[in-house]
Chains A and B, each alone.
Chain A
Amino acid sequence: MADRVTLRINGAERAVDADPATPLLTVLRSHLGLTGTHFGCGANQCGACNVMIDGQAVASCDTPLWAAAGKDVVTVEGLGSPKRPHPLQSAFLAEQAAQCGYCLSGILVTAAALLRRNPSPTEAEVRSALDRNLCRCGAHNRIVRAVLRAAKEARA
C-alpha cells in the first residue's frame, strides 16, 4: 500500500514511500530522521508533536501523510539552527525556558505559528495559544516570558 508522496519539509522537497494513511509524525521520525518532533500521546491532546502546516500549528500524530502532501511543513529543525536561530530559539535559551525540554519542539512550533499571525501578542494571548500544549515540569512561565521576549526582539 506504499505510495510515493512528495512533501515540502523545512523548505526542501522530500519524497517518501509510505502508506498515505501513515501519521505524519511517523514519517518525520522514522522515514526522514527528523526526531526533533516528539511523540507524546498519539491523540492530539498534548502538543508535543506539533508541526506547522501552511503556517498553522497542527498535531502531526493525527495528521495522515496524505493531508500534508503538497503543503509547507515546518518542524523544529526548520525553525532555525545554532548559526541562524529563530528568535524563539534564541529567546528560549536566553530565558532558560525549559526543564526536561521534551515538550519544547511542539511549543516552539506553536509559538512560531502564533507570532506569524500575531507578532505582538499579549501575555494572555500567548497562554491561550499554548493552552493545548502540555508541560509537566512547570516551565510554563519561563516559556511565556521567552515567547514575549522573542516577539519583542523580532520587532526591534
Chain B
Amino acid sequence: MTATAELPVNLKANPRLSRWLRFSRDGFVVLSPGKVEIGQGIVTALAQIAADELDIDVARVRMVPATTAASPNEGVTSGSLSVEQSGSAVRHAAAEARAIYLAAAAQRLGVAADTLAVEDGTIIGPGNLRTSYWELADDALLERDASPGVAPKRPAARRVAGTPVARLDLPDKVFGRPRFVHDLTLPGLLHGRVLKPATPWAGLTALDQTAARAVPGVAAVVRNGSFAGVIAETEAAAEAGLAALRKGASWGPGDALPDESDLAGWLKAQPAETTIVAERKPAGPVQAARTMRRRYSRPFIAHASMAPSCALAQWTSADEVHVWSHCQGVYNLRADLALALRMPAEKIVVEHVEGAGCYGHNGADDVAFDAVLLARGAGGRPVRVQWSRADELCWSPLGAAMAIEIEADLDSRGEIAAWREQVWSNGHVSRPGRSPIPTFMAASQLERPFERFIAFNPPMANGGGAERNAVPLYDLPALSVVCHRVLTMPLRTSALRTLGAFANVFAIESFMDELAAERGEDPLAFRLRHLKDARARAVLEAAARRAGWTSWRRREGAGRGIAFARYKNFGAYCAVVAEVEGEADIRVRRLVVAADVGEVVNPDGLANQLEGGAIQATSWTLKEAVRFDRTRITSDSWETYPILRFSEVPAVEVEIIARPEEKALGAGEAAHSPTGAAIGNAVFDALGVRVRDLPITRERILAAME
C-alpha cells in the first residue's frame, strides 16, 4: 500500500503518538484509544489491529480504559463507527510507532531500517543482529505528532486482524472478577440514591427531610431545586433513606403524556420542524393509475440494560471532581458536566469503567451527574450512585416513537411511478457534549435550572436521526422524503441503536412487500428488480440462498419474509430472512442474516454483533413498548417491560461476505432494521394480515384480522 495521503480523522484530531500507545520494558504495549468497551468487543478488535501493525502477539497488548486525564478524544463510542474511526487511527499510529522503533533499532545495530524484521516484538537484522521494542522502550520516541507518510500493512499481510481472537474482557466476566463500574470500591465510599419525580418534568414543591435524616447510616440529604437524594454509609441505609425521603416529597404537575394507544395521532398533531430529506423529480409526467397509501409506527422503546445505571464521583477539592462512568464518551460527559456545574472542564476528570451492555444514550451520563451532585454533600468522600430497576426503565432516555406514511403512485402495470414518504418523530439525539446547554435530566431540575433540552437529529452526512434510512435505496423514478421533528418532548428521547432506521426500514420494507403482494410478485425478485447496487444485491441473494428461499414449502401457520437495508445508506449492507410460526402468538423460529461490512477485523466478534442485533430486534418487534398513562410511565419492571427470553429466541445463522480490501463499516446496528421488517413480512406470509404498528403482539394481530 502506498503512503497514506492523509491521516485518519481521529488521529489528525489527536496527533500526539504517545497519547495512543507506548512500549514497556516488561514486554508489552500499552494501547489507549478513546473508544470504550460497551459489550461490543471493541477493545479486542483494536488490540488486534495494533498487534498486526506492530508484529506482536495480541497478548502483549494492554488496553487502557479511556480517561479525560490521558486518552485521545475520540468523541462518542456510537454509530457503529469504532472500527472504522478508531481502528484506522490505531492502525496508523501503530504503523508509525513501528517505523520509529525500527529507525531507532537501525541506528543501534548500525544497519539500514529496511533490512530489519519484527517477530513478536523482537527486531531482527542481518547476521542475526537482535534488539526489541522492549529493549528500546523509550517514551520520548513517541513524543511527536503522527505524520501522513507512513503506510500500514497491506490487507493481505495482516495476520491477527481478520481472525477470531478471543475477547480480552471475557475471562474477568466468566470468573466473576470485578470489572464493572458497579463493582468498583474506593476508600471511604458512600452510597447515594436519587429521588426521581412522580411525573416526567414535575417540580419538587416541598421536601420534608426529617424522616430521611433520622434513618441510621444516612450521612446527608442533598437538595438542589427539584433534584434531591440521600447519601449513606451503606446501600441499605441509602435505600431506606430514599424511601423516607419519597414520603416527604410533594410534586407539582408534570407534562401530560400522550395517549399511548394513538401515538401516530399524537406525533402528527405536535408542533414540528419540517425538513425535506430527499427529493427526486420524475423525468416526465407521472402517469398514476392509482395511489397506494400506508401508515406504519413504532412505540417508545427502552434501553432496558441488564444493569441499572451507576457512577461514582468524588470532589477532590472544592472545585475539582473525579467521575467514574460507563458513559459512551468521556470527553462528552465532561463537557456537559462543565456546563451544568458552571466550572472549567479542566477541573473535571471522567474515567471510563465498563457497565452492562449499552445500546445508545442510556442513563449513564445522567447518573454520573446525579453522583456529582450528591457528592457535593459528602465532604470529599466518594459517592456511588446506582439507579433502581424502575429508574432505569423510566428515566433513561427512550428510543423515540415514530409514525411513517408512505404513498406510491402506481402506473397502469402496477409499477412504482413515484414514492412519497413522511416521517414524524421526536429527535433522536440528546447526547451530552454537543450543545450549549447540558442535556442531563437533572440539569433542568436545578435551583438555577437550564432550559430543557429538546432532542435533535444529527445531520444526514452523519446518517441523520429520525430520517436515518428514510430514503429507500431502491431505484425509484421519483421520490420525496420529508421529516417532521416533533418539538414537544414529554418523554425524553435520545439515541437508541439504529435511531430512526429501525422504524423507517420497517416501513419501507413492509411497503415494498405490500407492493410486491399487490402484483403477485415474489418479494425477493421485486426487490432485486429495483436494486442496482451490486453489494446490496449480493447480501439479498446470500440470505435467500442460505435460507432456501426458492425451495420454501408453504405450510399452515408458517411464513417467511425477507428485508434489506444498508445502515445509514452508507454503512454495512444486511439482508435478513425470517421464518415464523403461529396463529396469533408469533414465534420467530429462524433468522438468516447476510452481511457485508467491508473489512472484517474479528469474524467471531462480527457474528456476535449480528446475532445479538437480530435477537434484540426480534425482542423489539414482538414484545417491546414503553407503557404509560397520562401522568407516568407504567412499564417500570421486567414484568411490565418484557423482553425476549431464552425459550423464545430464534435460531440465528450468520453469513458474512468478506471484502478485506473495502473499508470497515461497523456491524453493531446492521442487523436490527432488516430483522424487524423481515419478521413483519413473515407474519404477513404466514397469516395473510399485515401488522403496521409495532410491536407485533397477539392483540395487534387479532385486531388486524378483524
Contact = CB atoms under 8 A, between A and B. Distances in A.
B80 interface: no
Interface in B599-621: 604-605, 608-609, 611-616, 619
B270 interface: no
A100 B182 contact: no
A30 B234 CA distance: 8
B182 to A, nearest CB: 7
The CB with the most chain B CB atoms within 10 A, among A40, A96, A128, A130, is that of A96
A32 B38 CA distance: 27
A99 B357 contact: yes
Given A26-B236, A136-B357, A137-B612, A99 B171 contact: no
B653 to A, nearest CB: 10
A138 B236 contact: no
B174 A138 contact: no
A101 B649 contact: no
Contacts of B358: 100
B236 A76 contact: no
Interface of A is mostly: loop
Interface string A28-54: 001001111111111101101000000
B176 A98 contact: no
Contact of B39 (A48, A75, A99): A99
Interface string B212-247: 000000000000000000000011100000000000
A37 B306 contact: no
Q: How large is the interface on B (under 10, 10 to 19, 20 to 34, 35 or more residues)?
A: 35 or more
A57 interface: no
A102 interface: yes
Given A36-B175, A76-B175, A96 B307 contact: no
Contacts of A36: 175-178
A43 B646 CA distance: 19
B5 to A, nearest CB: 37
B386 A39 contact: yes
Interface stretch (B93-101, B447-455, B635-643): B635-643
A41 B356 contact: no
Interface string A129-156: 0111111111111111000000000000
Contacts of B639: 45
B40 to A, nearest CB: 7
The CB with the most chain A CB atoms within 10 A, among B182, B236, B306, B308, is that of B306
Contacts of A24: none
B661 interface: no
24 contacts: A37-B176, A40-B308, A41-B637, A43-B637, A43-B638, A46-B306, A76-B175, A79-B176, A81-B175, A85-B175, A89-B175, A93-B171, A96-B166, A98-B173, A100-B355, A101-B169, A101-B174, A108-B174, A133-B646, A134-B306, A136-B616, A138-B649, A139-B611, A143-B646
Interface of A: 19, 22, 26, 30, 33-43, 45-46, 48, 75-77, 79-82, 85, 89, 92-93, 96, 98-105, 108, 124, 126-128, 130-144
